[in-house]
Amino acid sequence: MDKKKMAELAEKELKEEERKKQFKVIKEAIKGELEKLEEKKKQRKELDQEIKIHKQNIDNIREGRLDLIEERQRKDERAKAVSTIIIEREKIVEKLVPYPVDPLPYKPWYAPYKIWCGTTTDIPMWETTTGVTVNCSIAKDASPGTYELTNGTVKSFT
Cβ atoms 64, 107 nearer than 8 A: no
Give, rounded to a whole angstrom, the gap between the first and last alpha carbons of the chain: 90
Alpha helix ranges (H) inside the chain: 3-63, 66-75, 77-82, 125-128, 136-142
Digit-coded pLDDT (tens) for 105-142: 555 556 778 888 865 455 455 455 667 888 777 788 88
Of 83, 66, 71, 55, nearest to 140 (Cα)?
66
- CA dist 50 and 83 (Å) reads 8
- CA dist 135 and 106 (Å) reads 14
Task: Give me the tens of pLDDT residue by residue for the chain, a chain 158 residues long.
Answer: 688 888 888 889 999 999 999 999 999 999 999 999 999 999 999 999 999 999 999 999 988 888 899 999 999 999 999 998 888 887 765 555 555 555 555 555 567 788 888 654 554 554 556 678 887 777 888 888 888 888 888 888 77
The DSSP element (H or E) to which 114 belongs, if any, is: strand 113-117
State how far Cα 146 lies from the chain centre. 24
- C-alpha distances in angstroms, 77 versus 53, 80, 144? 12, 5, 28
